[in-house]
Structure 1
Amino acid sequence: MVYDSSATRARLLDAAYDEFVSHGLAGARVDRIAKAAPANKQAIYAYFGSKDELFDAVLGARLRVLADMVPFTPSDLGAYAGALFDAFVDDPGLIRLTQWKALERPEASAGELEAHLEKAREVAEARGATLEAAMDALMIALSAAQAWLFTPPAIRNPGGADEQTRRLRHREAVVAAVGAMTDRLLPPGERSGSAGEA
């Protein structure tokens, strides 16, 4: 039988995702990850180096999948927020993973910082705005896309409507609110400074 190391690595990433979503970085156990994979525990260290590096690999892999699923539309942050909302609702584990990261390792990595700056630069260029204003708009769009999952069901659906109907209405509100906010913060054609300015 031919040993497929790429398959083992993929199984470890999937098992680690479930473990980190459930327990965070501090509470996750490599023994459980290896058992769920299934794989030898030493494979984790061989492929990833440490539990911290495995967490980074899992988060990076999931964010790449998200980026592939949700194309960034710098000229239409409302549409981007709506697409993000759909992706987060379909895979709420990603939000939990990023919450664990924020709680346990709140500092931004160089990769995270550059990814956000790149998006903000694209928004600034598309809307003729400052980098600072573009980053504000981007942060608000990201927050709006996640709000549904941060809110208890009884609060987000106070009238007891059909859950699917209520979710679609909330999505419409996210798109409309982010679109209106973008127009307020980043008026089309009004350049308040250089797009590279912070």
Structure 2
Amino acid sequence: MKEFSSYGIAGARVDRIAKNAECNKNLIYIYFENKETLFTTVLQKHLTRVYEEIDFTPEDLPGYAARVFDFAMTHPDLMRLMAWYSLEQKVGSLTERASARDKKIKAITNAQSAGQVGTTFTPGFLLTAIMALATAWSATNPFGPSHDTDAAKMPSETRDAIAKAVSLIIKENRSEKKT
């Protein structure tokens, strides 16, 4: 995790990983075949942990956004690892990540059908907006930390503001319904 979150796939060195893990470099290649598979395995392991630790609640999307914010702020290595994955998309697709996304979109669709979430925005747009807001102040985001330098000093207030913003985004726009 440390090697890949610091250097990405291209910059990571299997010899450093082997040295830090106190194992033989060749054994890493025998088990994982290549550096990309090792990276994907590390990322998938940590994303699985995220899916288990952060309950997705379509009936409480502001609460979900607050939990994602807390996680992003306390796990900068994972946020960097995800940033490297996004930058170096040459590795294989993460089917579990796509599956988790699809389940969330379906849950939002169902919440919209049940009237729990407004329909002004599509489920995919809502999920993207929620994740963008919830992770905007993480160390890897080029805007949040540099544009709102006080947010890191006031995580509780920032979390509350994110939840409020999500609450406003998911509300039904009544003026659009009338037209």
Q: TM-score, normalised by structure 2?
A: 0.83
- State whether structure 2 residue 146 is matched by structure 1 residue 146: no
Kept after mapping to 1: 8 A contact 2:46/2:78: yes
**C-alpha RMSD of the superposition:** 2.5
C-alpha distance in 2 between matches for 1:74 and 1:31: 44
Kept after mapping to 2: 8 A contact 1:24/1:97: yes
* Equivalent residue, structure 2, for 1:118: 103
* Equivalent residue, structure 2, for 1:11: none
Residue correspondence of structure 1 range 92-171 to structure 2 within 5 A:
92-105=76-89, 109=93, 111=95, 112-128=97-113, 133-149=122-138, 150=141, 151=143, 153=145, 155-158=147-150, 163=153, 166-171=154-159
Q: Residue 123 of structure 2: SS of its match in structure 1?
A: helix
Identity of aligned residues (%): 35
1:154 and 1:123, CA in 2 relative to 1: closer, same or farther beyond 3 A? closer
C-alpha distance in 2 between matches for 1:173 and 1:115: 26
Given residue 81 of structure 2, which amino acid in structure 1 is its aligned partner? L
* Equivalent residue, structure 2, for 1:10: none
Q: Provide structure 2 residue ranges, at least 5 long, that are not aligned to the other structure.
A: none
- State whether structure 2 residue 161 is matched by structure 1 residue 173: yes
Given residue 142 of structure 1, which amino acid in structure 2 is its aligned partner? M
Q: Provide structure 1 residue ranges, at least 5 long, that are not aligned to the other structure.
A: 1-16, 191-198
Cα distance, 1:152 vs. partner?
A: 6.4
Kept after mapping to 2: 8 A contact 1:77/1:138: no
Q: TM-score, normalised by structure 1?
A: 0.75
Q: What number of residue pairs does the alignment pair up?
A: 166
Cα distance, 1:76 vs. partner?
A: 1.5
C-alpha distance in 2 between matches for 1:107 and 1:34: 21
C-alpha distance in 2 between matches for 1:137 and 1:67: 18
